[in-house]
Amino acid sequence: MLRDILIPDILGKHTPDILYWGGKQLSRKFPLQSTEEISSFFNEAGWGTLTLLEQKRNEMTFELSGPVIERRLSLKTDVNFKLETGFIAEQIQLQRKCVAEAADELYKRSQSVKVMVRWDDKDRIE
């Protein structure tokens, strides 16, 4: 309720950007070493079930699903998952040591969210 109702009322149109940034900030406080650890963190935090669907050279696709996702998607039409998306982007950036960004897509029919992360091996972070 806080993330999907109260925070958008307070932050208004800036909600998605601030939640994405917040996810990245939160991720820095909980550095994880692998995609398996990211999935475990999501379960422990009550954010849903995170599954790695596909991994390519400079891209990963995750699916976020489960009862908590179904419940959030049923709340209202403008629910967003930017906090989770920012968290994943920063974890991959920390693990790969290069700039990474992520985008999410809602799939109401399958009651899931896909998060696509892309990075550039040439844009290194030390």
CATH number assigned to the domain comprising residue 63: 3.30.1380.20
Q: Can you give the pTM of this predicted structure?
A: 0.94
Tell me how many domains the chain contains.
1
Containing structural domain, residue 64: 2-124
> What are the pLDDT digits (tens) for 34-74?
999 999 999 999 999 999 999 999 999 999 999 999 999 88
In this structure, are residues 48 and 42 in contact, taking their beta carbons and an 8 Å threshold? Answer: yes
